[in-house]
Amino acid sequence: MRKIRLLSLALASVLLFVFGCNNNPTGNNISLDQEAIEDYISNDLDFAGYFAFEEYYGEEDTVTRLRTITGPSIWYREPQNINRDMSINIVNDSAFVSFWGSVGGVFHILERDISASPDTVIDHQKNLDDNSSNYAIFKRALGATAYRGWVLESLTGVNVNGLDRQKGDCVVVWIDSLRINCESYEDTLFTTPFVFFERGELLTFGGQEAVTLTLYSGYDIYSYLHAHSMGHWRRWRFAEEIEPGVWEGYWITPLIPGIRAIAFDALRKATIDEEDSPYESNIWLFPYRVE
């Protein structure tokens, strides 16, 4: 059984500025260091796996599944505008990086119109406005030459809020916590996605490991899991709501080793069940490793 060493966002920020002053100052080269870190983020293949916050959008196969629709059971997100930004704060040999992302588009709910032709499908569309945030710490490694010596030391999970612009810039759905239980991690609880994982100590599972997942929310939600299966993103609804706001689901990790992301998706029930209700969601993503 593995143990997770987690560092809170606030504590990580303090340690960065306390211990970041021990080595040679960056000085006038700070702009070059920022560019080096940006290049690292853009070019490092593993890094893309850590922060692929938008890849799960639109992964559903709607063409073949339309044949079995009996109600508004098919939905998907259609991204139309994806934007990313970051802020890099360097203190000597340490750098704290804040990431922001936004995805604008359409949330589709497909419903077969049983009162018309069997082939008639109604596409209920809602405005999609997702905003993500996550954080990372870089350190300058002795002897490293690529990217001016900067390497990724630790990173957080990703939080994605689906905002209801009709009610202002307010978040209207929250995931309270997430529990995982499996051979590698016995009864492990996350109360926020903003905890730091050291790069070498991501959530790590064996191939084809069975994982029990429990998602908690104080809102009236449907709970979904987005994860890789057979080389592609797939979506599963959590098996059952065992009590109000508590959803339990099961996941079998991929067989092939590698670094990927997994997304836990809380959608307000009214988003799917009520035509006039706006799109409202909260998503937590975590990087993980299969070995």
Q: Which residue has the tokens 């073949």?
A: 64
Q: Do strands 203-205 and 281-290 pair parallel, antiparallel, or not at all (unpaired)? A: parallel
Could you tell me the CA-to-CA distances from 268 to 12, 27, 94 in Å, in that order? 32, 49, 40
Q: Which residue has the tokens 């799960």?
A: 56
Least confident of 35-44, 122-131, 167-176, 282-291: 167-176
Q: How many CB atoms lie within 10 A of CB 101?
A: 19
pLDDT of residue 22: 40
- Average pLDDT score over residue span 124-142: 93
Query: Is residue 195 exposed (0-12), middle (13-18) or buried (19+ Cβ within 10 Å)?
Result: buried
Nearest to 178 by CA among 148, 214, 139: 214
Contact in structure between 176 and 218 (CB atoms under 8 Å): yes
Nearest to 35 by CA among 164, 180, 150, 155: 150
* Long-range Cβ contact pairs of 49-52 (< 8 A, separation 24 or more): 49/258, 49/259, 49/260, 49/261, 49/287, 50/136, 50/152, 50/155, 50/259, 50/261, 50/287, 51/99, 51/134, 51/136, 51/155, 51/158, 51/261, 51/287, 52/261
pTM listed for this prediction: 0.85
pLDDT score of 124 more than 80: yes
Cβ within 8 Å of residue 79, ≥6 positions away: 54, 57, 58, 103, 104, 105, 128
Q: How confident is the model at residue 73 (pLDDT cuts 50, 70, 90)?
A: low
DSSP for 25-39 reads --GGGHHHHHHHHHH
pLDDT score of 120 more than 90: no
Q: Mind listing the pLDDT tens digit for each residue in 242-251?
A: 999 999 999 9
Cβ within 8 Å of residue 24, ≥6 positions away: 92, 93
Contact in structure between 87 and 97 (CB atoms under 8 Å): yes
* Amino acid (one-letter) located at 126: K
pLDDT score of 23 more than 50: no
Q: Mind listing the pLDDT tens digit for each residue in 222-243?
A: 999 988 877 778 888 887 899 9
- Average pLDDT score over residue span 253-273: 91
Task: Write out the two tokens for 258.
Answer: 């590698």
pLDDT score of 117 more than 70: no
